[in-house]
Amino acid sequence: MNLNQNPSPFHWSGRKSDQTEYWHQAVQTISNLNLSQDSNHKIGILGYASEEGVIRNQGRTGTIEGPSAIRKMLGSIALHLPEDLPILDYGDIFTLDQDMESSHEVISKITYDLLSSNHFPVLLGGGHDLAFAHGRGVLNFVREKNEKLGVINLDAHFDLRPLVRGKGHSGSPFLQLAEENPDDFNYLALGIQRAANPKSLFETAERLKAKYIVMEDFRLHNWEFIQEQILWFIDSVDKIYLSIDMDGFSSAFAPGVSAPSPMGFNPQIAFKVFELIVKSKKLISLDVVELNPQFDQDNATARLAARAVEYIVRKKFVTQ
């Protein structure tokens, strides 16, 4: 069963230039998941055009269009990456007949293959259930090298909710990772909102020995404490997988999400966190999830998601 949709060059557009000055001019669209196997560093973009996990979690539908919206905003951003660094778009994985689990299997394998072939995976959601599939692929890769993976999630929610009738959803990815890897689950959640997480989820987080910073403490004036907690976590692992849920941002900056909140964090502190993580040189994989273009305003959320991707990739690959 083929769950891959080839990338569309029409998703990559922007200002015209005689030189390669913008992302849309540099991105190469690759059909049929024909992964580049050379030994050079590469950026591998993969979309998850699915909202089944959001539907199961009783969220607002529309995230299926998230990957396309992020690509469109990324395309117009000025390019500041090395000329010899390929940016390869491998298209989207979709869900057929509500069979989200099959989509997850495909994504886990592709993630592993991307890492094995020296790509830096950038996965675009889609619902946050993507994190289970993505994280499983990263864990499989890191474990083969006898290394320890840390997961950092910027989010309003723990995403440690129980399964629904035995099935995962957009609120359960990190619980699923923990249950599959009880001795190898290292999790730090940043921006957790008490109003969005009942006591039972805080109890689950404590049981799983998850680390977290609540929204009241995740503010710029508290940066020294935040930095200390993040650095302690980074020092305790060998590699980092970063997941960015757009609903963690305040709805003033990110209205186009499945679960908006006026009390989320602002871009300034999020981007300071991104830079801190990248400076560790341990970041090996990234996803951005829960963009819902149906509720966006002037593409504000899509632009923010694209800027987050561009900033992280630039900081990772450009020596300044």
What are the tens digits of pLDDT across the range 67-119?
999 999 999 999 999 999 999 999 999 999 999 999 999 999 999 999 999 99
pLDDT at 36: 87
**Which of the 8 DSSP states describes residue 258?**
S
The sign of the torsion formed by the CA atoms of 255, 275, 54, 96 equals: positive
Residues 6+ apart with CB under 8 A from 34: none
What's the pLDDT tens digit per position in 138-175? 999 999 999 999 999 999 999 999 999 999 999 999 99
Arithmetic mean of pLDDT over the chain: 96
pLDDT digits (tens, 9 = 90+) for 22-77: 999 999 999 999 998 888 999 999 999 999 999 999 889 999 999 999 999 999 99
Q: What is the pTM of this model?
A: 0.97
Mean pLDDT of the region 217-231: 98
Q: At what angle do helices 173-180 and 130-144 cross, to 10 degrees?
A: 30
CA distance 73 to 99: 29
Answer yes or no: is pLDDT of 320 > 60: no
Per-residue confidence band for 195, with pLDDT thresholds at 50, 70 and 90: very high
State residue 1's pLDDT score. 67
Confidence of residue 192 (pLDDT cuts 50, 70, 90): very high
